[in-house]
Amino acid sequence: MFPANPHRLLAWLIAGTLIVGLPLVGTITDRLRTRMQRAEVAEALTGGDAALAPPIFRRYGCVGCHTVPGIPGADGKVGGALSGLREQVYIGGVLNNTPDNLVQWIVSPRRFSPKTAMPATGISEGEARHLAAYLYRD
């Protein structure tokens, strides 16, 4: 079935690699592009800078209660995982999911849901914006 000539074999190998590889490269770049676009949209919506978020998640103990995608060791299980937030309808089951509401929830959850186990952590609104920018990228 395969040609005995080594040059032809090489040509087949290269053709095969391209046929399998090119669509894969396309898929990967598409994914990267959508991720980058999502990141830009998230930052525009929240006015935050997602790159600043990881140490803030740690500083205020969010990671002890929540699993946060992309943050090693952030595997808390007290509250839910903070993933796919941009597709959710409500925040904490009580607030419409808008960028400002997310920021306000992060700053003072009990203002909206008095019995929630999530405490006010002392985080500032500016810092909460960076976290919101990060969370809406996912």
Task: State the residues that interact with ligand HEC by CB under 6 A.
Answer: 60-62, 64-66, 78-80, 82, 88, 91-93, 105-106, 113, 116-119, 121, 123, 131
CA 19 to chain centre: 32
Give min distance, CB of 30 to ligand HEC, in A.
28
Is residue 123 packed enough to be buried (19+ CB in 10 Å), middle (13-18) or exposed (0-12)? buried
The span from the CA of 136 to the CA of 42, in Å, is: 5
Please say which residue, 45 or 118, places its beta carbon nearer to ligand HEC.
118
Please say which residue, 14 or 64, places its beta carbon nearer to ligand HEC.
64
Give min distance, CB of 84 to ligand HEC, in A.
9
Give min distance, CB of 7 to ligand HEC, in A.
59
CA angle at 37 for the pair 34 and 42, rounded to the nearest 5°: 125
